[in-house]
Amino acid sequence: MVGEGILKGLAETARNFLGSYVSKERLTTVQYPEERVPQIEAARNFPFLVYDGQDAEKGLRCVACQICEKECPPKCILIEKSKDKKPDAVGKQQFYPAVFDIDISVCMSCQICVEVCPFDAIKMDVEYDLPTDDRFEGLLFHKDRLAKPNEYYHQIHPTEANAVDSALAAERAKADAKAKAAAEAKAATPPAATAAAQPQPVGGESR
C-alpha cells in the first residue's frame, strides 16, 4: 500500500512520544550535554595512539613505519621518524615517531589506519565531544594528545584489546624463547670453534 511505511513510522513516533511519559525505555533522546548515552563497544570516531605502561613516550607502540600515513585516504596523518631507536612492545629496537599529528578536521573516521597498522599501535577512539573555536590548531592533534594508555583501550573496546594483548604476549614469549636459544647456543660453542668460524683476511697471510 502506498504510504504504508510513512504510517508505520508515524505510529512508532506516537508510541514513543506517549510511552515516554510512562516508560524510560520509550524515551529515545537524552538531555545532551548534561546526559550522555553510553558508548557501545563497536563505536568509533577518531584514531588515538596506544601506549603500554605509565610513560606515554617510552611505551608508545608506534614504530613510525609510516604505513598509516601512506594509506590514509585524505592524507591527514603526518609522521616524522626519530633519528635514534628505542625498544618496542616486544623488546625489539625500533624507531619511534618524533612527530605524529592527525588533522581531525580532515579525518573521515574510515579506520583504514587501524587496519593497516602491523603493530596494533593505532586504534579508534569513541570520543566525539571535541568542540573548539580554533578550527586549525584546535583540531590538529599532536602526539601528546593522541597518546592514550592501554587501560583506556581496554575500557572502550575490551574484547578487541584483550585479543591484542594475547597476541602481543604470544609474540613476546616467542621473541624471548628465540633470544634464550641464541644465548644458550652461543654459550655452548667452544671458543676455538668460534675463532675458527671467524672470516680470514682476503688474500691469506701477508709476507
Give the residues lining the site for ligand SF4 (CB under 6 A). 47, 62-68, 72-74, 76-77, 79, 102, 107-113, 116-117, 119, 121-122
Residue 76 C-beta: closest distance to ligand SF4, Å:
5
Which amino acid type is present at position 78? L
Residue 120 C-beta: closest distance to ligand SF4, Å:
8
Residue 148 and residue 49 in contact, taking contact as beta carbons nearer than 8 Å = yes
Nearer residue to ligand SF4 within complex by CB, 73 or 158: 73
Instruction: For residue 61, give Cα distances in angstroms to 37, 48, 57.
Output: 31, 11, 9
Query: Which of 109, 99, 105 is CA-nearest to residue 78?
Result: 99
Residue 49 C-beta: closest distance to ligand SF4, Å:
7
Nearer residue to ligand SF4 within complex by CB, 109 or 159: 109
Task: Please give the Cα distance from 150 to 61 (Å, whole number).
Answer: 10
Nearer residue to ligand SF4 within complex by CB, 16 or 114: 114
Residue 173 C-beta: closest distance to ligand SF4, Å:
21
Unique residue bearing C-alpha cell 635514534:
84
SS3 99: strand
